[in-house]
Structure 1
Amino acid sequence: MDLLRACRGAWDTPDRSGDPVDLHDHGLQTAALLRRSHPADKELQVAGLVHDLGHLLFPGDDAGHADHAAEALRPLLGDRVARLVGLHVPAKRYLAAVEPARALSPQSALTLRAQGGVMGADEVRAFAADPEAEAAVTLRQADDAGKVPGLDAGVMEDWRPVLERVAAGVDARTP
């Protein structure tokens, strides 16, 4: 919770030239969208809440932020949450390949190249075969939509019980 609260006033780029909301509001918005679309999948919701913590842990590392966050979160929130967090950048690359007309935020479009660019055909097939591909794409879509300045998506403290249950292994994915 302390790390999530530290996201207030922290941005995806050190000079604030990136997305129009701070990491705190972005995480809340992403998680709220996932709660609405996938109410039974608490791990997916939590992945949305924490997916960009790598920007806080390693400022300026756009290419590695997802992997840094996944590595830091695995012992706290489990393998699936960490896996989804790690896949949110490959999901962007995948969507850029399969939906080339799909709009990205200006910052996401800018960082796509540093993150490996649009996936090639072999990468697309490999990503699509991943058992978590659908959930990762869902997370990515919420990530792209959760960047609305001034949108009230609740308060971080409301997520404490969900985080505690996921951390305890109580709220695994419900099919």
Structure 2
Amino acid sequence: MVVGSVGELMELLRGHGDGHGLRVAALLRRSHPSDKELQVAGLLIHHPAEAIRPLLGERVARLVRDHGPGAPDPWADPDTESLGDAAEAGRSAGLDAGVLEDWRPVLELVAAGAYGRTA
């Protein structure tokens, strides 16, 4: 399945209710406030990279893919390492991560290529 719009992506995220991705994204928002693509990768950490590539670009898909199981060397890239650190820290259920709807504007901007869609 390929996600074709931010609306579809929001529905997909609503269906994944454990909140881990939301906590990871919130942590990355604090540690890397200007890197919206990295934050979005944290939000989507549990989703297939190929499903989000057309909507959110190569970098977000690469970060999600390289963090997942079977990744070649998840610690070789500093951004992937930051994502992994946030994923580990995000396992704490007590973290206030806000609400999913707060991420819609960021997802829309990343989908529109507002952050350069860097590789």
Partner SS state of residue 36, structure 1: helix
The 8 Å contact of residues 42 and 173 in structure 1, kept in 2 or not, is answered as no
Counting only pairs closer than 5 Å after superposition, residues 38-49 of structure 1 correspond to structure 2 as: 38-49=32-43
Q: Select the structure with the greater relative contact order (CA < 8 A; seq sep ≥ 6).
A: 2
Picking from 9, 12, 16, the partner of 1:7 is: 16
Take 1:172 and 1:49, find their aligned partners in 2: how far apart are those partners?
A: 19
User: Residue in 2 aligned with 1:11?
Assistant: none
Out of 52, 72, 84, the position equivalent to 2:63 is 84
Q: Deviations over 1:126-148 (max 9, x none)?
A: x73xxxx1100100110111011
Contact 1:47-1:81 at 8 Å conserved across structures: yes
Post-superposition CA distance 1:93-133 (Å, at most 9, x none): xxxxxxxxxxxxxxxxxxxxxx48xxxxxx66xx73xxxx1
- The secondary structure found in structure 2 opposite 1:4 is helix
- Counterpart of 2:84, as a letter, is R
The 2-side partners of 1:172 and 1:44 are apart by 13
Identity of aligned residues (%): 62
Matched, 1:155 2:99: yes
CA contact (8 A) 2:41 2:63 kept: yes
TM-score, normalisation: structure 1:
0.57
Within a 5 Å distance, the mapping from 1:73-112 to structure 2 comes to: 73-89=52-68
| Superposed displacement of residue 89, structure 1 | 2.9
Native 8 Å contact 2:49 2:61 kept in 1: yes
- 5+ residue gaps, structure 1, are 9-21, 54-68, 91-114, 117-122
Match of 2:44 in 1: 50
Instruction: State the 1:52 CA deviation.
Output: 0.6
Aligned to 1:142: 86
Q: Rate the CA distance shift 1:84–1:135 in 2: closer, same or farther, 3 A.
A: same
Residue matched to 1:167: 111
Instruction: Give the TM-score, by structure 2 length.
Output: 0.82
> Does structure 1 conserve the Cα–Cα contact (< 8 Å) formed by 2:21 and 2:45?
yes
Pairwise CA distance, 1:149? 2.0
Contact 1:44 1:135 in 2 (8 A): yes
Q: Which runs of 4+ in 1 moved over 3 A?
A: none
Structure 2 SS opposite 1:138: helix
